[in-house]
Amino acid sequence: MDHSEDNDTPVDVLTQEEFTQIIIRRQKLASSANIRRTMLLESATLMLDDDTRYDDLFGKHGGSKPGKKPNIPRNFEAAYQQLYQHYFSDTPLYDSRLFRRRFRMSKELFLKITDSV
C-alpha cells in the first residue's frame, strides 16, 4: 500500500486482486454470521415447538387451574417440629409402642431407613 507524501490526503492504493479478496472475506464473514444466526433461530424455534408438543401431549404440571379453589396454607415447619417433639426428641411424648401403632413399623426400622436414604 502506498501513501502519498501529502498528509492532507492520504491515499491507499489497492490492487484489484487485493480489493476483490477483501470483499470476498467480508462476504464470507457476513455469510457465516448469517448462517449462525439462522441456525440459532431455527434451533430455538424447534425447541419451543417441542415444548408446545410436550405440553399438548402431557399437559402442564402445577400451577393454579381456572375455577379451582386456592391451595390451603399449611404450616409444614410447625408440623415437623411437632412430629419431632412427639416421637424423636430426647424426651418424646409418645413411646415406641405408639410410634409402631401410628406408622406401622418400629421406630428403629424407620431410623434405619432414613439413615440409608
With beta carbons less than 8 A apart as the criterion, state whether 70 and 64 touch: yes
- Where is average pLDDT lowest: 14-18, 52-56, 61-65, 87-91? 52-56
pLDDT tens sequence across 23-68 = 778 777 777 777 777 777 777 776 776 666 666 666 666 666 778 8
Highest mean pLDDT among 10-14, 23-27, 51-55, 80-84: 80-84
| Cell, residue 56 | 399438548
Distance between CA atoms of residues 108 and 90, nearest Å: 15
Amino acid identity, position 117? V
On whether the CB atoms of residues 4 and 10 are closer than 8 A, the answer is: yes
